[in-house]
Amino acid sequence: MTHSHTFGGYAGEQPITRNDLKHATRIVVKMGTSVVSTSGEPALGRIASIVEQVCMLKRQGKEVLLVTSGAVGIGRKRLNKQILLSASLRTHVQGNQQMLALEKKQGAMAAAGQIGLMSLYETLFSLYDVACSQVLVTASDFKTAQNRANMRDTMLNLLELDVVPIVNENDAVSASPDGTVFTDNDSLAALVGGEIEADLLMLLTDVEGLYNKPPYPAWCKDYFGLSS
C-alpha cells in the first residue's frame, strides 16, 4: 500500500481535531500493561475488543501497527506458578525465596510472558483472517542509522504485505537491573511512530490524562487538555 501524507496537523498548520483522526492512514496503537493484563493474567475481553477494532480499521484501508506491553507481568505470574508447582512441602520456604528473587530476573519473566502474549494475539487475529507478526526491538536498534533503517524496512515491509506488526521491547535480552531500557513503551511507541512516519499515535492506558510529571496525586497536575 502506498502511503502519502494527507493528514493535517503538522507544524505551522491548524491543530488536529477529533474529526481529523478519520483521515489518518497509518496508525500506531500502544497498549499498556494495565490494558492487556489484569493481576498478571491476559485481559482477554479487552485484548479481543482491540483486535476486533484493529481489523475493522484494516478493512477501511488503514495500516495499523501495535506496540504492546504486558509480557513481564504475565511472565511473572507464570513463573510464580511454576515455582509453586515444582516445590515440595519441604522446599516451600525455599520456593517463597525463589519468588522474591524472581523480581530481579526481568529477562526470564519477559521470555515466559512473551510467548503466551503473542500466541494470544495470533489466535485472535486469525479469527478475522488477519496475519500478525512479532517484532522485538532493543535500544541498539535506534542507535545507528543503519540499525534504524533495517528496523524501519522490516516494519514497512510487513505493513505493505497487509500484516499487523506487533512490537515490544525485547526485555529477555535487553532488560537492565531496574527492568527498563526505554523509559517505557510510550517512548518506544513514539520512536516507532516517527520511524515509520505514522499519521497517528494512540496510547491506550488507564492514566486519566496528560501530566507535566509522573502522576503522583500529591504533586502532579494536568499538563494540558485535549478537546474535540
- Asked whether 79 and 112 are in contact (CB, 8 A), the reply is yes
Find cell 526485555 and name the residue.
171
Question: Would you tell me which CATH number, out of the four given (3.90.180.10, 3.40.1160.10, 3.50.50.60, 3.40.630.150), belongs to the domain 24-70+118-205?
Answer: 3.40.1160.10
CA dihedral 31, 109, 191, 134 (to 10 degrees): -80
Q: What's the Rg (C-alpha) of the chain?
A: 19
Q: Which has the closest alpha carbon to 29: 55, 9, 8, 11? A: 55
Q: Which has the closest alpha carbon to 165: 139, 142, 188? A: 188
* Cα–Cα distance for residue pair 181/166, rounded to 1 Å: 18
* Cα–Cα distance for residue pair 173/103, rounded to 1 Å: 16
* Cα–Cα distance for residue pair 110/106, rounded to 1 Å: 6
Residue type at 126 in one-letter notation: S
- Asked whether 77 and 43 are in contact (CB, 8 A), the reply is no
Q: Per-residue pLDDT for the chain (228 aa), expressed as one digit of tens each?
A: 555 544 544 444 566 777 888 899 999 999 988 898 888 788 899 999 999 999 999 999 999 999 998 888 887 877 777 767 766 544 555 545 555 555 567 778 888 888 888 999 999 999 999 999 999 998 889 889 999 999 999 999 999 999 999 999 887 666 555 444 466 788 899 999 999 999 999 999 887 777 666 666 555 555 555 443
Three-state secondary structure call for residue 57: helix
- Asked whether 101 and 155 are in contact (CB, 8 A), the reply is no
Contacts of 134 (CB under 8 A, 6+ apart): 114, 118, 166, 168
* Cα–Cα distance for residue pair 173/144, rounded to 1 Å: 19
